[in-house]
Amino acid sequence: MSKGRQTRRNIVARAIGVASTLGLEKVTIGNLARDMSMSKSGLFAHFKSKEQLQLAILQEAAERFVEIVVSPALMQPRGEPRIRALFENWCNWINSLPGGCVFLKAASEVDDFPGPLRKYLVQTQRDWVDTLAGAGRIATEEGHFRSDLDCTQFAYEAQGIFCAHQIFGRLLGDKSAGDRLRIAYESLIARSR
């Protein structure tokens, strides 16, 4: 990997942490340059605009999400074991970031603003929901879940559990959020059988 490419990766890695804590809008070239002990122009040369930096953050976060959450789960047996792996890996994902899930944080910032950031975020979230629904379909095919399961509803509820966890744990500071997350997840699994 070239030095420039490695520098870019290091910048984006630092920016993901800031974005998960403060949001995409708070990631500025000036603040990031200071944090990385770089000049603004040196950092700017890697991205050309704040929007390109923000898009790079979402792209790198999506790659990490696949690496941490999805890919290892696909190594598990089809059906409920794979769904359980997706859940556990997702928990590892949110705990790996200082401010929780960068996608959930970004969603509230870009949901009303058309453009490349929103478009990319929408696609990543659709991919994730499709992954959850697909895992539900496979669990149905394997006989782990009931045959009449609405897999789109399953994905909706699973994503809702993750969103609720972010709000209760991060925003409300509820110390029982982790326990509630697991209770809600087990309830969803039980209702899906």
Query: What value does the mean pLDDT take over residues 131-155?
Result: 97
Spell out the domains of the chain, with CATH numbers in brackets: 55-192 (1.10.357.10)
Query: What value does the mean pLDDT take over residues 139-145?
Result: 97
3-state secondary structure of 143: coil
HEC per residue, the chain: CCHHHHHHHHHHHHHHHHHHHHCHHHCCHHHHHHHCCCCHHHHHHHHCCHHHHHHHHHHHHHHHHHHHHHHHHHCCCCCHHHHHHHHHHHHHHHHHCCCCCHHHHHHHHHCCCCCHHHHHHHHHHHHHHHHHHHHHHHHHHCCCCCCCCCHHHHHHHHHHHHHHHHHHHHHCCCCCHHHHHHHHHHHHHHHHC
What pTM was estimated for this model as a whole?
A: 0.87
pLDDT band, residue 135 (cuts 50/70/90): very high
Q: How far apart are CA 50 and CA 80, in angstroms?
A: 41
pLDDT score for 119: 95
pLDDT score for 85: 97
Q: Is the pLDDT at 7 greater than 90, yes or no?
A: no
**Mean pLDDT taken over the chain:** 90
Q: Is the pLDDT at 40 greater than 80, yes or no?
A: no
Q: Is the pLDDT at 97 greater than 90, yes or no?
A: no
Query: What value does the mean pLDDT take over residues 64-81?
Result: 95
Q: Is the pLDDT at 4 greater than 70, yes or no?
A: no
Q: Is the pLDDT at 186 greater than 70, yes or no?
A: yes
Q: Is the pLDDT at 1 greater than 80, yes or no?
A: no
Other CB atoms closer than 10 Å to residue 191's CB: what's the count? Answer: 12
Q: How far apart are CA 99 and CA 191, in angstroms?
A: 31
pLDDT in tens, 8-36: 788 888 888 888 888 888 888 777 878 87
Q: Is the pLDDT at 2 greater than 90, yes or no?
A: no
Considering Cα of 46, then 52, then 57, then 63, what sign does the dihedral take?
negative
